Amino acid sequence: MAVILIVEDEIFIRQTAEWTIGDLGHTVLLAGDLAAALLHLSTPPQIDALFVDIRLSAFAFGGYDVANQAIKLQPGLRVLYTSGSPLTADMTEMFVSGGQFLQKPYSPTQLEYSVKELLH
Protein backbone atom coordinates (compact mmCIF):
# COMPACT_ATOMS: atom_id res chain seq x y z
CA MET A 1 0.00 0.00 0.00
CA ALA A 2 1.03 3.59 -0.53
CA VAL A 3 1.89 6.54 1.70
CA ILE A 4 -0.32 9.48 0.69
CA LEU A 5 0.03 13.05 1.89
CA ILE A 6 -3.21 15.04 1.96
CA VAL A 7 -2.77 18.82 1.89
CA GLU A 8 -6.12 20.48 2.53
CA ASP A 9 -6.85 23.57 4.62
CA GLU A 10 -10.51 22.72 5.28
CA ILE A 11 -10.54 20.39 8.29
CA PHE A 12 -13.77 18.55 7.47
CA ILE A 13 -12.68 17.82 3.90
CA ARG A 14 -9.21 16.77 5.10
CA GLN A 15 -10.70 14.33 7.64
CA THR A 16 -13.15 12.87 5.14
CA ALA A 17 -10.34 12.33 2.63
CA GLU A 18 -8.21 10.76 5.37
CA TRP A 19 -10.94 8.25 6.25
CA THR A 20 -11.68 7.42 2.63
CA ILE A 21 -8.06 6.89 1.62
CA GLY A 22 -7.23 5.14 4.90
CA ASP A 23 -10.09 2.70 4.32
CA LEU A 24 -8.33 1.65 1.12
CA GLY A 25 -5.41 0.49 3.28
CA HIS A 26 -3.04 3.35 2.54
CA THR A 27 -0.99 5.20 5.14
CA VAL A 28 -2.23 8.79 5.32
CA LEU A 29 -0.27 11.87 6.37
CA LEU A 30 -2.04 15.19 6.86
CA ALA A 31 -1.09 18.83 6.34
CA GLY A 32 -3.18 21.98 6.40
CA ASP A 33 -0.62 24.29 4.81
CA LEU A 34 2.60 24.50 2.82
CA ALA A 35 4.92 24.44 5.87
CA ALA A 36 3.37 21.25 7.30
CA ALA A 37 3.43 19.62 3.87
CA LEU A 38 7.12 20.41 3.38
CA LEU A 39 7.93 18.98 6.80
CA HIS A 40 6.32 15.67 5.82
CA LEU A 41 8.03 15.69 2.43
CA SER A 42 11.49 16.29 3.87
CA THR A 43 11.38 13.54 6.51
CA PRO A 44 10.69 9.79 6.35
CA PRO A 45 8.64 7.95 5.31
CA GLN A 46 8.94 8.27 1.55
CA ILE A 47 5.64 9.59 0.17
CA ASP A 48 4.15 7.90 -2.88
CA ALA A 49 1.35 10.34 -3.71
CA LEU A 50 0.16 13.85 -2.93
CA PHE A 51 -3.52 14.84 -2.79
CA VAL A 52 -3.53 18.63 -2.72
CA ASP A 53 -6.11 21.40 -2.79
CA ILE A 54 -5.09 23.96 -5.41
CA ARG A 55 -6.53 26.86 -3.41
CA LEU A 56 -5.07 26.70 0.07
CA SER A 57 -6.43 29.54 2.22
CA ALA A 58 -3.24 31.55 2.67
CA PHE A 59 -2.39 31.56 -1.05
CA ALA A 60 -4.73 31.58 -4.04
CA PHE A 61 -2.74 28.84 -5.76
CA GLY A 62 -0.77 27.38 -2.85
CA GLY A 63 -1.42 23.83 -3.98
CA TYR A 64 0.73 24.39 -7.04
CA ASP A 65 3.57 25.56 -4.80
CA VAL A 66 3.20 22.46 -2.64
CA ALA A 67 3.26 20.16 -5.67
CA ASN A 68 6.21 21.89 -7.33
CA GLN A 69 8.29 21.82 -4.15
CA ALA A 70 7.22 18.23 -3.45
CA ILE A 71 8.46 17.07 -6.85
CA LYS A 72 11.83 18.70 -6.17
CA LEU A 73 12.10 16.85 -2.85
CA GLN A 74 10.68 13.55 -4.09
CA PRO A 75 10.95 13.14 -7.86
CA GLY A 76 8.46 10.66 -9.24
CA LEU A 77 5.79 11.62 -6.72
CA ARG A 78 2.28 11.21 -8.10
CA VAL A 79 0.00 14.23 -7.69
CA LEU A 80 -3.79 14.48 -7.53
CA TYR A 81 -5.06 18.06 -7.44
CA THR A 82 -8.50 19.12 -6.24
CA SER A 83 -10.48 22.37 -6.33
CA GLY A 84 -13.99 23.66 -6.11
CA SER A 85 -13.29 25.72 -9.22
CA PRO A 86 -13.94 24.16 -12.63
CA LEU A 87 -10.81 22.86 -14.34
CA THR A 88 -9.41 25.18 -17.00
CA ALA A 89 -6.57 24.93 -19.51
CA ASP A 90 -4.66 27.56 -17.50
CA MET A 91 -4.93 25.37 -14.42
CA THR A 92 -3.70 22.21 -16.14
CA GLU A 93 -0.71 24.10 -17.55
CA MET A 94 0.44 24.60 -13.96
CA PHE A 95 0.18 20.89 -13.06
CA VAL A 96 3.36 18.92 -12.48
CA SER A 97 3.99 16.27 -15.13
CA GLY A 98 1.40 13.51 -14.83
CA GLY A 99 -0.76 15.51 -12.42
CA GLN A 100 -4.42 14.52 -12.26
CA PHE A 101 -7.53 16.41 -11.11
CA LEU A 102 -10.62 15.67 -8.98
CA GLN A 103 -13.37 18.31 -8.94
CA LYS A 104 -14.94 19.29 -5.58
CA PRO A 105 -17.35 18.38 -4.27
CA TYR A 106 -16.50 14.73 -4.73
CA SER A 107 -17.96 11.59 -3.20
CA PRO A 108 -15.90 9.02 -1.30
CA THR A 109 -16.39 6.68 -4.28
CA GLN A 110 -14.99 9.29 -6.69
CA LEU A 111 -11.99 9.85 -4.41
CA GLU A 112 -11.37 6.11 -4.14
CA TYR A 113 -11.46 5.76 -7.92
CA SER A 114 -9.13 8.74 -8.45
CA VAL A 115 -6.60 7.43 -5.92
CA LYS A 116 -6.62 3.96 -7.51
CA GLU A 117 -6.09 5.52 -10.96
CA LEU A 118 -3.30 7.74 -9.65
CA LEU A 119 -1.38 4.84 -8.16
CA HIS A 120 -1.57 2.59 -11.24
pLDDT tens for each residue of 77-95: 999 999 999 999 999 999 9
Residue 60 reports pLDDT greater than 70 = no
Burial 78-95 (b: 16+ CB within 10 A, else e): bbbbbbeeeeeeebeeeb
Query: What is the residue range of 53's domain?
Result: 3-119
Which residue, among 109, 68, 60, has the nearest Cα to 50 in the 3D structure? 68
Question: Which residues have a Cβ under 8 Å from the Cβ of 101 and sit 6 or more positions away?
Answer: 80, 81, 82, 83, 87, 91, 92, 95
Neighbours of 60 (CB within 10 A): 10
Q: Give 6's strand partners.
A: 30, 51
At residue 58, the pLDDT reads: 64
pTM for the model stands at 0.95
Share of the chain above pLDDT 90, in %: 92
pLDDT over 70, % of the chain: 98
CATH code of 68's domain: 3.40.50.2300
Whole-number Å distance between alpha carbons of 118 and 78: 7
Tell me what the pLDDT averaged over the chain comes to. Answer: 95
Count structural domains, the chain.
1
